[in-house]
Chain A
Amino acid sequence: MIENVKELLKAHEGIIREVYLDIENSSMVPKEIVEAMLPYFNQRAYGNPTLTHKPGWEAFETIMESAQKIANFIGCKTLEEVNFTPGETEANNLAILGTALQMKEKGKKIVISEIEPLSVMHVAEMLTKHGFSVTKVPVNSEGFINLEKLKETVDSETVIASFSMVNHEIGTIQPIKEAVEIVKDKNQEAIFHTDASDAYGKIKLDVQKLDADLVTISSYKILGPRGVGALYVKEDTKIERIIEGQIGTQKLWPGIENTPLIVGFAKASELAFQNFEDNVNHMRRLRDMLINGIFEKISDVRLNGPKNEKRAPDNVNISFLRCEGEALTIELSLSGVYVSSGSACTRRLLQPSHVLIAIGRIFEEAHGSILMKVTRYHKDEDINHVLEVMPKAVERLRGITGSTGVG
């Protein structure tokens, strides 16, 4: 297997321009963020932040200052509302499972949408084995949750409602404030959680104005290091820990704090929020340049998710009919363009993306879908390179498809 991978990598030799657009699944960490992290591995603050020596106090100071920065960016009341976790998967699990454990005497109903990320969906489904029920609110063809259905669904039994602020695959910006109001109006005690991993650093996010109880944010999606994320827990909101061990500065996540990663997360946040408007406008311009370019140059394509202001500034998700998605990711990779697909072929369970199914895409549309996200680091030349490579790749694969195909 490893030999095969070496050969695959060798096939990429000679690539001159590389454009990485698979921010959904992992990201490059820019040099300035890595440099900010480096001193914290071995020069300072490498101690345990709960212990009584200089490297420990340094770590304590560093973690608190990082939390304060992030708390400021999302409008927290106190820095204690920012709880670091090892990532967004863990933060989402903590939110759902931690609330269910805390509230199990009050009710057994969990309300989510059909298009939540698996770290929300799977933990909610897991809880059905323990007496909870999960109701999935449907979405329309652009991925917007049906607020009327939400109103009908939330009741006195509901303990938690969880909806992503921005959908991770199709970039739908949900009317999340209205969703919070509906949930709280129907049941004041129900906890509202939102996974804001794809919103943080990309659209305006003020936790106090939003009035959600729990908010997940992620480091790698704003180009910080993987292995760190955070759950905002509103002051006085109580949830249980889901793993146990030595509690340090993070009351909801035991174990020794990873100071360099937390520093990287804070630095990535600073860079995302410094010149926020410029960054967002840049991403939005490149996003539209990519979408419009593909529509101009390639026939039989479909945009998945909404357009313009209702779409996350970085998200591009397009289905190429008569062109299988996994084959397209490989073809593009060999030309230095790195993307992912919602095709069944790329998944262990061989089922197409549940998000694309939920918005009513037919099999062939999901089978040929490609997800891309642009960042503030991408340049016009990068997008032009993608637009040069993509039509050739799609054309070649459509040539292989020929007259074959479901549709």
Chain B
Amino acid sequence: MSRAPLPYSQKILDLFRNPKNLGKMEDATVSAVAGNPACGDMITFYLKINDQDVIEKASFESYGCAANIATSSIVTEKVKGMKLEDAWKITWKSIAEEIGGLPAVKFHCGILAVGALRRAIRTYYKNKQATPEWLPKDQTFEEKQALEEEELAKILSKKMKMAEEK
């Protein structure tokens, strides 16, 4: 029973107890579901984007641990009113910092939150059939870490099987 000590920060605990921007957004412009292959946590991001490519509002749902809920919550707060180009530049490290630090074993929660946001932004432009110059052609590390639901399910069942065989 190898367990990680998890001295979560006050900020994480606060956002876990009272997450901001929680819930499905009915009038979302775009949404993205992304999961983490490390632990199986999943989040859905909803973005309402206006004609000027500015995020009017953001919300989330999370099937994950306290760190996952808190990092998702903080990302939705941070991107509100931001241009997509600026929202894209948010790093998981800055999220981790803002939240009062993440335990090392929970870094992937910050990576997932940023990865899911970027996946939503990429999907938005894909739907729009537009490619702004600043958008990297190849998937960034964070996006690669945040897998789509099906891909995640595949990896998890593989992982479970491996653990079984081990």
Q: Is the CB of A348 within 8 A of B4?
A: yes
| Docked-complex contact A327 and B105, CB < 8 angstroms | no
Q: Digit string of A386-407 for contact with B (CB within 8 Å is 1, else 0)? A: 0000000000000111111110
> When chains A and B are docked, how far (Å) is the Cα of A347 from the Cα of B66?
14
Q: Nearest Cβ distance between residue A87 and chain B, in whole angstroms? A: 13
Q: Which of A209-217, A281-289, A350-358, A375-383 contacts B (4 or more CB under 8 A)?
A: A350-358
Question: CB-CB < 8 A to B50: which residues of A?
Answer: none
Which of A4, A7, A349 is close to B2, meaning CB atoms less than 8 Å apart? A349
A367 to B19, CA, bound (A): 21
A247 within 8 A of B: no
Considering the complex, give the chain A residue whose CB is closest to the CB of B150.
A406
Quote the shortest CB–CB distance from A119 to chain B (angstroms): 9
Within 8 A of A (CB), among B89-136: 100-101, 105, 108
Task: List the A side residues contacting B2 at CB < 8 Å.
Answer: 118, 347-349
Flag if B61 contacts A404 (CB, 8 Å). Answer: yes
Contact assessment for B164 and A324 in the assembled complex, using a CB-CB cutoff below 8 Å: no
Residues in A with CB closer than 8 Å to B40 are 344, 352, 363, 367, 406
Task: Tell me whether B7 and A404 are in contact (CB under 8 A).
Answer: no
Q: CA separation between A344 and B3, bound complex, in Å? A: 9
**B4, A363: Cβ atoms under 8 Å?**
no
A8 within 8 A of B: yes
Bound complex: CA A346 to CA B62 (Å): 17
Q: Which residues of B contact A314 (CB under 8 A)?
A: none
Q: A357-B160, A401-B63, A404-B63 are in contact. Are A327 and B152 (CB under 8 A)?
A: no
The interface residues of chain A lying within 8 Å CB-to-CB of B163 are 351-352, 354, 357
| Distance, CA A213 to CA B89, complexed state (A) | 64
Give the interface SS of chain B, mostly helix, strand, loop or mixed: mixed
> Does chain B have a CB within 8 A of A345?
yes
- Alpha-carbon gap, A257 to B159, bound state (A): 44
Whether the Cβ atoms of A8 and B8 lie closer than 8 Å is: yes
The distance from the CB of A353 to the nearest CB of chain B, in whole angstroms, is 8
Q: Which residues of B contact A24 (CB under 8 A)?
A: 1
A326 within 8 A of B: yes
Task: Report A305-359 residues with CB < 8 Å from chain B CB.
Answer: 322, 324, 326-327, 330, 334, 343-352, 354, 357-358
Which residues on the B side are within 8 Å of A326 (C-beta)? 6, 65-66
Name the contact of A350 in the complex, choosing from B39, B42, B152, B160 (C-beta under 8 A): B39
Report yes or no: B61 in contact with A400, Cβ–Cβ below 8 A: yes
CA distance A401 to B9 in the complex (A): 22
Task: Contact check, B164 vs A2: say whether CB atoms are below 8 A apart.
Answer: no
Decide if A345 touches B64 in the complex (CB within 8 Å): yes
Q: Which residues of B contact A366 (CB under 8 A)?
A: 160
Give how many A-B residue pairs fall within 8 Å (CB-CB): 121
Point out the residues of chain B lying under 8 angstroms from A400, CB to CB: 19, 22, 61-63, 69
Q: Which residues of B contact A322 (CB under 8 A)?
A: 63
A114 and B164 within 8 A (CB): yes
Q: Is A243 an interface residue (CB 8 A)?
A: no
* A399: B residues at CB distance < 8 A: 22-23
Interface residues in A, total, Cβ within 8 A:
43
Within 8 A of A (CB), among B33-78: 33, 35, 38-44, 61-66, 68-69
Is B33 a contact of A404 with CB atoms below 8 Å? Answer: yes
What is the number of residues of chain B that contact chain A, defined by CB distance less than 8 Å? 46
CB-defined contacts of A1 to chain B, threshold 8 Å: 7
Residues of B contacting A275 in the complex (Cβ-Cβ under 8 angstroms): none
Contact call B3/A343, Cβ cutoff below 8 A: no
Map CB proximity to B onto A1-39 as digits: 1 under 8 Å, 0 otherwise: 110110110010000000000001100000000000000
- Let me know if A363 and B39 touch, CB within 8 A: no
Residues of B within 8 A of A357 (CB): 160, 163-164
Q: Are B43 and A330 in contact (CB under 8 A)?
A: no
Give the complex CA separation of A401 and B23 in angstroms: 9
CA–CA, A288 and B104, complex, Å: 39
Q: A4 touching B157 by the CB < 8 A rule?
A: no
Distance between B112 CB and nearest chain A CB, rounded to angstroms: 12
From B10-18, B79-87, B138-146, give the one contacting chain A.
B10-18
In-complex Cβ contact of B43 among A8, A327, A404 (8 A): A404
Task: Give CA–CA (A7, B33) in the complex, Å.
Answer: 32
Distance A346 CA – B23 CA, assembled complex (angstroms):
25
Cross-chain contact A4 with B3 (CB below 8 angstroms): no
Beyond the given pairs A4-B7, A363-B160, 4 more chain A to chain B contacts, judged by CB atoms under 8 angstroms and listed by A's residue number, are A330-B16, A330-B66, A350-B105, A406-B152
Would you give 30 A-B contacts (Cβ < 8 Å), ordered by A? A8-B10, A114-B164, A118-B2, A322-B63, A324-B63, A324-B68, A326-B6, A326-B65, A326-B66, A330-B13, A343-B65, A345-B39, A345-B41, A345-B64, A350-B105, A350-B108, A352-B163, A357-B160, A357-B163, A357-B164, A358-B164, A363-B157, A363-B160, A400-B22, A400-B69, A401-B62, A403-B44, A404-B33, A406-B35, A406-B63
Query: Could you list which residues of chain A lie within 8 angstroms of chain B, going by C-beta atoms?
Result: 1-2, 4-5, 7-8, 11, 24-25, 114, 117-118, 322, 324, 326-327, 330, 334, 343-352, 354, 357-358, 362-363, 366-367, 399-406
Q: Which 5 A-B pairs have the closest CB atoms?
A: A402-B61, A4-B7, A345-B65, A7-B10, A326-B65
